[in-house]
Amino acid sequence: MKGADAEARAARYLQGLGRTVVAQNYRIRGGEIDLVTLDGPVLVFTEVRHRSSLRYGGAAASITPQKLALMSRAAQTYLLREHGREDLPCRLEVLTIDGPAETGLVTLIPVE
């Protein structure tokens, strides 16, 4: 349930920034997008990473190049399946929560 708590907090946080959540836990074979939001006309694909303790590094340390590649592939699939095209304005980001899911530090990291 901890992952669900972090994703729920992330959704509330992004809504507080004025975004609209359009999809959660969008799955394809071999990948998933935790949250898809609209930031004005731009679709934003967000991976949520949570670490309750810094013992093994913070949440950002859990982001691997492989995870980012899978996230990119899932985003492209979402665009094709849900909108019939890949050329819509969009971006990828990672939202990290370090500490308790409900009160920990939230950081948004753009993916280049």
Q: What is the pTM of this model?
A: 0.93
Instruction: Supply 34's token pair.
Output: 């935790």
Average pLDDT for residues 25-31, to the nearest whole number?
89
Question: Residue 71: pLDDT above 60?
Answer: yes
The domains of the chain are located at: 2-111
Q: How confident is the model at residue 53 (pLDDT cuts 50, 70, 90)?
A: confident
Mean pLDDT of the chain: 93
Instruction: Supply 65's token pair.
Output: 């190049």
Q: Do residues 70 and 30 make contact, with C-beta atoms less than 8 angstroms apart?
A: yes
Topology adopted by domain 2-111: Trna Endonuclease; Chain: A, domain 1 (3.40.1350)
Calpha distance 60→67 (Å, rounded) = 12
pLDDT of residue 57: 81
Calpha distance 112→106 (Å, rounded) = 19
